[in-house]
Amino acid sequence: MDPELENEMISEDSCCTPSHGRMSHHSEKTKKNLVTRLNRIEGQIRGIKRLIETDTYCDDVITQISASQAALNGVAKILLEAHMKECVVNRIQEGDMEVLDEVLVTIQKLMKK
């Protein structure tokens, strides 16, 4: 992942707290970056569909699927990092230790893939 993009993902206003109804609050720059990445992934998925429709060799399709999965994992890593650095830290500082169980479940979900 591009270190410059990673650094701009974490911002001081990317916190999600229970008082906000479990919503994240990312900066506009972060949102734009994530949406750009997701738009690129969306294009990759459409490309995979076209490859299947045109009977492209299976190995080539699988390679494109793998690239799309890696791109989605990149988005998840950025969100998880922001969540841990901001939301989780803040909730622990407020005495909410249940957030650790929540994070562990989230990590388990990511690792299944």
**Would you kindly state where each structural domain of the chain is located, as residue ranges?**
3-41+75-112
Confidence class for position 16, pLDDT limits 50, 70, 90: low
User: 106, 80 in Cβ contact below 8 A?
Assistant: yes
Q: Is 20 helix (H, G, I), strand (E, B) or coil?
A: helix
Give the pLDDT score at 26.
78
Which one is predicted more confidently, 112 or 113?
112
Which tokens belong to 22? 């479990």
Handedness of CA 82, 106, 89, 25 (dihedral sign): positive
Give the pLDDT score at 6.
47
Each residue's pLDDT tens digit, 33-73: 999 999 999 999 999 999 999 999 999 999 999 999 999 99
CA 74 to chain centre: 6
Average pLDDT over residues 22-36: 84
Which tokens belong to 102? 């929540």
Confidence class for position 15, pLDDT limits 50, 70, 90: low
Helix (H) or strand (E) holding 103: helix 98-112
Average pLDDT over residues 86-112: 93
Which tokens belong to 41? 């992934």
